Structure 1
Amino acid sequence: MKIDRVETFLVAPRWLFLKITTDDGVVGWGEPVVEGRAETVRAAIGELSDLLIGADPMRIEDHWQVLTRGGFYRGGPVLSSAVAGIDQALWDIAGKVRGAPVHELLGGPVRDRVRMYGWAYGETAGQVAEAAATAIAAGYTAVKIAPPGPMAFLDTPAGLRSVVDLLAKVRDAIGPDNDVAIDLHGRASIPASRRLLPLLEPYVPLFVEEPLRPEYSSDIARIVTATSSPIATGERLYTRREFRDVLDAGVAVVQPDLSHAGGISEVRRIAAVAEMYDAVLAPHCPLGPIALAACLQIDLATPNFLIQEQALGLHHHHGQDGLNYLVDTDVLRLRDGHVERLDAPGLGIDVDEKAVREAAARGHRFRSPIWRDPDGAFTEW
């Protein structure tokens, strides 16, 4: 069996899907993308495919090593994301060839279902609290929220209070038996984080996500020591070596993205490194159904798993909830706050290729929003 074709599909709302076909007709799907840079990742896949055509798809680890280390210049989100999607597709093929879900190939499941959380959005704290209550009523046991706008380097007392009030209103809306995480999206400075995080502690967040931008990862220990709330980070870290630095600093929750951090092969290693630090895995996944299915395979086989993000139906998806690209949508449906174990071979989903090709004919040009402060200076989204 040899790899015969590598195809990519730019599909709404902001995703890139990948299909690997073997010479005997076995197909594997992956989801490689850098949001807002999908065309760039697509070009990288085209270059990497020269190393794949005619090769044995079952040599997953060998391919991973060659694709990540075979070029003199290595690393970064574009290359790592291209490799991630290829890696997902190769695991999908391996599972289908062996007639087993990927989690069986990773040593078998350690749980029967995966706890999920959803996002709660709104322009005001009241709207976010209402959305959070709606999510809980729909079956979630946890939600994640984010301040709706930019954060100043050193905010006013009123600005800090607005973030605290947001969390307080959501906590009141969902009660003490459910969880809420808060994502600062890398918008806070080191001094702002040290001021803000202790004020959030009375509302017992599940974790505080990405208080700092990834370029300040070496300083995250200053944030960890400023609060009793668990600190989470990692959606913009791509290798186990990068995660080692933040784990050394005391981060409690690691959040690699299976479409960015080298795919299933590397994320399983990141989880194992985190386990050595008594840290837990909560994969980042604001993407489509293929990426989510890959996450679920890792979640099912990882002892130190905490909770899984999902974004099907996310507010900026404009009506495209991702399930449109599946033949059987039921496999990813929420039941009692969880998704049940995926037992079909490979990634456990059946991609609707006709729907994918129709969407790819339209494509997309998603770009990340550009925010500016009141004085006109660029600020973090």
Structure 2
Amino acid sequence: MKITGIETLHGDGGYRVCSYVKMTTDEGIVGWSEYYEGLTGVSVTPVIRDFAKVAVGMDPRQVGRLSESLLATTRLSWGGLAHQAVAAIENACLDIHAKSLGVPVYALFGGPFRERVPVYWTHCGSYRVRHAAFYEQELGFEPVRTLDDFTRLGREAVAQGFRAVKTNPVFFDRDRPYMFNGGFRIEPGFLDRSISDHQIGAIVEQLDALREGIGPHTGLMLDVSFSQRTEGYLRLARRLEPLHLYWLELDMRDPEGLALIRQSTRTPIASLEGLHGIHDFRPYLVQRAVDTAIVDPMWNGVWQSVRVATLADAFEIHVAPHNPVGDLANLMSAHFCAAIPNFRIMELRPDEAPWTRDFLTHPSSIENGEILVPQRPGWGSDIDEAALKAHPPRKAR
């Protein structure tokens, strides 16, 4: 079997663009994958197209060989968009390989370890603040204007069966609430990465409001991304100890610094979503720098992500996927979670634009806070190109 073509397709995701790779073969099997487009403000699509020129003519069933061969060409520009482009191609190859055998993707890795995967509501409330016009004017959701609205959303999450919720800092000291800068968007003060005691106090109030809504038995998480340096993370983690978080999620490029934070607080630490490949993960795992290692199957590729999870398992560390995008990505993450023994919990955004589910021939199924792992061959769904064309992309906001 040979790859005959690789193209990228896009659709309207509301405040973002939904992006997919379509891979065709000389035997008529089509493979799909979802990828992030423009998350950092820079497009990965041209990089995918460049790697596609190399991948065409290769056998998509030799997933590891193809992935490693493409990554070998990036040794002077490791990680970043290059790795993400290879991952998008790798994931489409996995879909084809599994379809050629008539099995789900997880079966390629000896799974499933589980048929149902517990999920948590990610960016709960915070994205409704960040993209208020979309959620309020287009989807008709109630606005998030006060701490009481976080309590309301917490009750909504529990009613939907979620095992945990994760939010980002939201502050209310201006005319309108705003989401705290994660440390990677050009805004005033974003290079300082320094948090005040007043802001930490406001975060505690926000989490208290959310806890009131979810109750004592639902997990509570906070994600502050790359927003702080070691000192700021330490002050925040220690201040949050009485809240008994499921985890505090943070990112930094210093294994020793991250290990120091974990060793200096009772708050569980989750991190590493921005890393690419086992070589990037290794120093953090050796340092036992995290309680939960977050791996992105769309940025690493599911085959490469399973390798990272295996390495983490050798250090007795749980793994959770980074998965803040669309429904095909949900299915891809579910297969990853089903394929590894040291899985913790899966990220899911339940308030995406509802029409994006129509892009899939078989959308995901969520029951009682769990996603059902598809049993159909491949990822368990193809992309409905007619539905995608009916929603052409607009400029992401």
Q: Normalised by the size of structure 2, how large is the TM-score?
A: 0.84
Q: Relative to structure 2, which stretch is displaced further, 298-307 or 128-137?
A: 128-137
Q: Give CA-to-partner distance per residue, 1:307-335, whole Å, 9 cap, x none.
A: 00012424xxxx35631211233xx1220
Matched to 1:33, the amino acid is Y
Q: Give CA-to-partner distance per residue, 1:183-228, whole Å, 9 cap, x none.
A: 1122123222211212212221111101x4x334442122112211
Q: Relative to structure 2, which stretch is displaced further, 120-129 or 160-169?
A: 120-129
Confirm or deny: 8 A CA contact 1:15 1:38 kept in the other structure.
no
- Secondary structure of 1:220's match? helix
Return the offset for 1:94.
0.8
Please point out which of 22, 27, 30 is paired with 2:25. Answer: 22
Return the offset for 1:302.
0.8
Please point out which of 383, 389, 394 is paired with 1:351. Answer: 383
The equivalent residue for 2:234 is 194
Q: Relative to structure 2, which stretch is displaced further, 61-70 or 5-14?
A: 5-14
The question of 1:303 aligning with 2:335 is answered no
Please point out which of 251, 258, 264 is paired with 2:290. Answer: 251
Please point out which of 105, 108, 128 is paired with 2:108. Answer: 105
Matched to 1:322, the amino acid is T
The question of 1:265 aligning with 2:264 is answered no
Task: State the percentage of identical aligned residues.
Answer: 28
Q: Return the alpha-carbon distance in structure 2 between the equivalents of residues 336 and 209 of structure 1.
A: 25
Q: Give CA-to-partner distance per residue, 1:9-63, whole Å, 9 cap, x none.
A: 1222223210001112100001233433587311111111122222221111110
Q: Return the alpha-carbon distance in structure 2 between the equivalents of residues 155 and 351 of structure 1.
A: 43
With over 3 angstroms needed to count, the CA separation of the structure-2 counterparts of 1:184 and 1:123, relative to structure 1, is farther
The equivalent residue for 1:370 is none
The equivalent residue for 1:77 is 80
Matched to 2:27, the amino acid is D
With over 3 angstroms needed to count, the CA separation of the structure-2 counterparts of 1:160 and 1:220, relative to structure 1, is same
Q: Give CA-to-partner distance per residue, 1:96-125, whole Å, 9 cap, x none.
A: 110000111110211121000113204443
With over 3 angstroms needed to count, the CA separation of the structure-2 counterparts of 1:137 and 1:71, relative to structure 1, is closer
Q: Return the alpha-carbon distance in structure 2 between the equivalents of residues 34 and 77 of structure 1.
A: 13
Return the offset for 1:72.
5.3
Alignment length (residue pairs): 356
The question of 1:2 aligning with 2:2 is answered yes
Q: Give CA-to-partner distance per residue, 1:116-140, whole Å, 9 cap, x none.
A: 0113204443222221210111121
The equivalent residue for 1:324 is 358
Confirm or deny: 8 A CA contact 2:3 2:56 kept in the other structure.
yes
Please point out which of 239, 243, 257 is paired with 1:203. Answer: 243
Q: Return the alpha-carbon distance in structure 2 between the equivalents of residues 232 and 255 of structure 1.
A: 7
The equivalent residue for 2:263 is 225
Q: Return the alpha-carbon distance in structure 2 between the equivalents of residues 134 and 218 of structure 1.
A: 39
Confirm or deny: 8 A CA contact 2:154 2:213 kept in the other structure.
yes
The equivalent residue for 2:207 is 167
Confirm or deny: 8 A CA contact 1:102 1:346 kept in the other structure.
yes
The question of 1:129 aligning with 2:151 is answered yes
Confirm or deny: 8 A CA contact 1:312 1:322 kept in the other structure.
no
Confirm or deny: 8 A CA contact 1:281 1:304 kept in the other structure.
yes
Confirm or deny: 8 A CA contact 2:157 2:214 kept in the other structure.
no
Matched to 1:279, the amino acid is I
Please point out which of 64, 67, 89 is paired with 1:64. Answer: 67
Confirm or deny: 8 A CA contact 1:7 1:20 kept in the other structure.
yes
The question of 1:87 aligning with 2:90 is answered yes
**Deviation beyond 6 Å, 4+ runs, structure 1:** none
Confirm or deny: 8 A CA contact 1:44 1:79 kept in the other structure.
yes
Matched to 1:308, the amino acid is M
- Secondary structure of 2:324's match? coil
Please point out which of 134, 137, 141 is paired with 2:163. Answer: 141
Q: Give CA-to-partner distance per residue, 1:246-305, whole Å, 9 cap, x none.
A: 2233211111111112x1111001111111222111100011122221111110111100
With over 3 angstroms needed to count, the CA separation of the structure-2 counterparts of 1:123 and 1:284, relative to structure 1, is farther
Please point out which of 185, 189, 197 is paired with 1:157. Answer: 197
